[in-house]
Amino acid sequence: MKKYENILTKENLINLHFTQKLSSVQIGKLLNIHYSTIISYLKKYNIYSKSWIEHLQTINSSNGQRKFDSILTKEFLHEQYILQNKSPRQIARELHISQNTILKYLKRYKLFDINLSSKIKSLNFKDTCTNIYGVENISQLNYIKDKVKNTVKDRYGCDNVAQSDVIKEKMKETQYNKFGSWFLNTEKYLEKSKNTCLQKYGVENISQATFIKDKKYRTQKKNKSFNTSKYEELIYEKLKTIFKVVYREYKCDRYPFKCDFYIPSIDFFIEYNGNFTHGTKPFNKDNKEHQEILNYWKLKAQNSEYYKKAIYTWTISDVKKRNYFKKNKLKYCILCNMEQFNIVFNKIKAYRDLYS
């Protein structure tokens, strides 16, 4: 600070601060010195007064208005804060006014919204990171990832902190102390999770959301990681003996579900429902036998997620697909076992031979 002693003398600061009524920020801009340095010298000479600073910020003009009333109007702040998504800090910097003053005026006009401010802050953070580093968050940078990984490895002896036995034990202890059990298994968590998903996505479980299903489908298609049974493999190999092109896990605008097989040359869809979750026959709500099976499954589903999934697949998902085929007049077949496939295969082969 010694380099400013010839400029920031006690006499100069008294003149600027008290006689000319300039704030520390204004003095700093005038002398091209950071305002914190000005405050340090004011305190050094025992002439710093917080009440005087506040007085400078609230000097009345001839019409009785506060200093910033003519600038910080409700309309102006609505434009800057609400419409342009500028943070109080951004507005303050552009006007060379303290952030606290901006916040006071926003609260006075009932414009301040802590959720909006958090959102603006997040957007500004993303923009800054994108402009400087080319990513929305610095945690996406490879050298940051490596640094975090190395730090975790040095401290806990593993690549991810969640893999540490110490952390696992600590998490377990915290969960049991707070909730008496693992929080994810509590009714409170399950109900909260369900309500959050309903509010945000309109479904009880995020896995049921359309965008999640689409993302999963794209990933599985890219990585060729669809779950297939040995019978589906056999069906595919047999279809390939008579058709050059056979698509698997096919999805399109005409049929927005994953179809097991699609043959483009004859525009034919094939669904193979050989798994237990599809039932032995297509579900019919008017069928007494099907209702008895459903009631049994519901009983089992009280303690089994597998049966819950089976009920949804058999009575809702499969029914929805069949109705979609019929409504859009698509050529399709739904198979429940290999015997049915062999019958259909012979018919498809005859159809191909007839029109080839």
What is the domain partition of the chain in residue ranges? Answer: 2-57, 74-133, 141-185, 226-355
Give residues with Cβ within 8 angstroms of 205, minimum separation 6.
194, 197
Q: What is the DSSP letter of 241?
A: T
Interatomic CA distance for residues 340 and 343, integer angstroms:
5
Helices 230-239, 338-355: crossing angle, 10 deg rounding: 10
Q: Sign (positive/negative) of CA torsion 221, 222, 227, 233?
A: positive
Interatomic CA distance for residues 283 and 302, integer angstroms:
21
Among 252, 260, 268, 271, smallest CA distance to 228 is for 260
Pair of tokens at residue 252 = 């399109």
Residue ranges of the chain with per-residue pLDDT less than 70? 1-2, 48-67, 181-185, 213-214, 216-218, 220-228, 354-356
The 10s digit of each residue's pLDDT in 11-27 is 888 888 777 777 777 88
Q: Sign (positive/negative) of CA torsion 339, 344, 345, 346?
A: positive
Predicted pLDDT of residue 194: 83
Predicted pLDDT of residue 326: 92
How many degrees, rounded to 5, is the angle at CA 253 between CA 252 and CA 256?
65
Per-position b or e across 166-204, b if 16+ CB within 10 A of its CB: eeeeeeeeebeeeeeeeeeeeeeeeeeeeeebeeeeeee
Q: What is the DSSP letter of 251?
A: -
Predicted pLDDT of residue 123: 74
Q: Sign (positive/negative) of CA torsion 99, 100, 106, 109?
A: negative
Predicted pLDDT of residue 355: 59
* Residue found under tokens 């802050």: 121
Predicted pLDDT of residue 63: 43
Predicted pLDDT of residue 38: 83
Pair of tokens at residue 153 = 């490895």
* Residue found under tokens 């085929």: 325
Per the CB < 8 A criterion, the answer to whether 9 and 33 are in contact is no
